[in-house]
Chains A and B, each alone.
Chain A
Amino acid sequence: AQKVTQAQTEISVVEKEDVTLDCVYETRDTTYYLFWYKQPPSGELVFLIRRNSFDEQNEISGRYSWNFQKSTSSFNFTITASQVVDSAVYFCALNGRGDNYGQNFVFGPGTRLSVLP
């Protein structure tokens, strides 16, 4: 079975603070993909990043960075110098190969980030 846990239900920070959103996953697959999505107050779901299980390099894109650690089954997302526009719900997701050619695609419950001015 696959599972994604985002233990932080809600986080509030003041603008310019750094914030890390945690994602812990469970899977028996050796081949899998992890994703982060953003859902701003306007409601749409926006794909941010994908990482496969064989690539543990950290990724940085501007103020965003992602830390993938297989040893702890975590794929954490850090926003540096947060801005009000970062306020959103963030979802972590897992797609494992399993024995059904990768049909399983599981979302975590989401973390609501509020960045206060």
Chain B
Amino acid sequence: NAGVTQTPKFRILKIGQSMTLQCTQDMNHNYMYWYRQDPGMGLKLIYYSVGAGITDKGEVPNGYNVSRSTTEDFPLRLELAAPSQTSVYFCASRGSFGQPQHFGDGTRLSIL
């Protein structure tokens, strides 16, 4: 089983560039999440979705956008990359209440 797949694994961007981090899951999970993890720190929730067509902000949404047109996909968009967005980004999904979150392997993003 593929689980949660994130692409790319690594990326270097220049300040002001845009990019989309892809996330797809094959477990038919309703809930999907985007987190960022700065070096030596914990997980900060950027955006989450409770189902196709429904998204909501987490604690650090500024500078990011998401969409959820299908159950499987939950892309994260950076419009104008800034050095403060250098981080590791994790996508996760889970089923119903009480089910654990399953994480992708992460995308390591550097903005120079």
A112-B92 Cα distance, complex, nearest whole Å: 21
Assess whether B97 is in contact with A97, with CB atoms less than 8 Å apart: yes
Assess whether B98 is in contact with A105, with CB atoms less than 8 Å apart: no
Closest residue of chain B to A32 (Cβ to Cβ) is: B98
Interface size on A, residues (CB 8 A): 21
Interface residues of A (CB under 8 A from B): 33, 35, 43-45, 47, 50, 52, 91, 93, 95, 97, 101-103, 105, 107-110, 112
16 example contacts (A-B, Cβ-Cβ < 8 A) are as follows: A35-B100, A43-B105, A44-B105, A45-B92, A45-B103, A47-B102, A50-B98, A95-B98, A102-B97, A102-B98, A103-B50, A105-B31, A105-B33, A105-B101, A107-B42, A109-B42
Assess whether A47 is in contact with B101, with CB atoms less than 8 Å apart: yes
Question: Cβ of B98: which chain A residues have Cβ within 8 Å of it?
Answer: 33, 50, 52, 95, 102
Query: Nearest chain A CB to B95's CB is how many angstroms away?
Result: 10
